[in-house]
Amino acid sequence: MVTTIEIQRLQIYGYVVMTGILVVVLYSYIVYLYRSEKKGDKNYEQYSNLVLDDELDDELLEKNPKHENDKKE
């Protein structure tokens, strides 16, 4: 029979493992964002103005190639 102490120990191990996994995922995402901005794939500074320029008639941040193809047809 499983005792309460064994269940608590399993919960602690699970907590430590999940925390480790989430830390690795978070840091890998941060590195991905940093590298994509350094390579020039994305410019995240333009997204900071999104809060200020959020009207319907404001200029778009990025053009959507799928939407442009629909207009040509």
- Looking at residue 73, its pLDDT comes to 53
Dihedral, CA of residue 60, residue 62, residue 66 and residue 68, to nearest 10: 50
CA distance 7 to 12: 9
Question: How many CA atoms, within 13 angstroms, populate the side-chain half-sphere of residue 58?
Answer: 11
pLDDT digits 0-9 by tens, 14-51:
999 999 999 999 999 999 989 988 888 877 777 777 77
**What confidence tens digit (pLDDT) does each residue in 53-73 have?**
777 787 777 777 777 665 555
| C-alpha of 19 from chain center | 17
Half-sphere exposure at residue 15, Cβ-oriented, CA atoms within 13 angstroms? 6
- Its pTM stands at 0.61
